[in-house]
Structure 1
Amino acid sequence: MEAAQFNMILNGMKTSFAPFKILSVGSFTFSQPLIADQARKGWVIMATEYLMASFPLSRRVMINGEFMGTTNKKLELESGVYEVTLGPPPNFIPEKYDVDLRHTSSLMPMIVEFAEAVG
């Protein structure tokens, strides 16, 4: 175990953390004192989640009304509820997905599938 000093940008504010112990096991690093301290202060620690919008063609992906990437590529988002749709032209189905993005990983992203609309 080793002591460390960290700086973090949280909600647009730079925050420094005093030294604490880090425990590494394989590829995982645990920082329980940091997490417990932030929980006591009422901070919410958001997990990174992964989403991929599948479509036969390359198309811009909209998350909550904002363009966030392209189809068939993994997107990184914070855990939460999102509306996922594609950019124009509106020749796809379904029109949108409402997803609760949780419990994903880089190797197992949530996949939402869009198809070309016929007619």
Structure 2
Amino acid sequence: MSPVRICSRTACKASAVFTLTYVYRDSTAVLGPLAAYVEPHCYDLCAEHADRLTAPMGWELLRLPAEEASDQPTSDDLEALADAVREAARPVSPGTEPVGQGTEVGRRGHLRVLRSDQQS
């Protein structure tokens, strides 16, 4: 179980339920459901501070709908997991693999640029 994240507002000890992100290029503040993990330039907010949040002057505040909090996987989650397992277990057809040898045409540090030789 992951530790409970608290509100980023000074002196607030309430549990965070929303994450605030600023998109500077678009002058937009985005308030959405609590992010899966902590980001350096995002702010976790409790419900009270999220409700009172306003955007800076000239900015737009975009409020994304909050998802239902549930520790149990949904049927969509389980279905997606089953599909991923089926896909990973599927044998690879010989025709789907790349054909030909790559020819090195450049190098920078540990990176190499390869050109595929076309085979007809």
Q: Which of the five TM-score ranges fits, normalised by the shorter chain? A: under 0.3
- Higher relative contact order (CA closer than 8 Å, sequence separation 6+): 1
Greater C-alpha Rg = 2
User: Greater helix percent: which structure?
Assistant: 2
Give the TM-score taking structure 1 as reference length.
0.22
User: Greater strand percent: which structure?
Assistant: 1
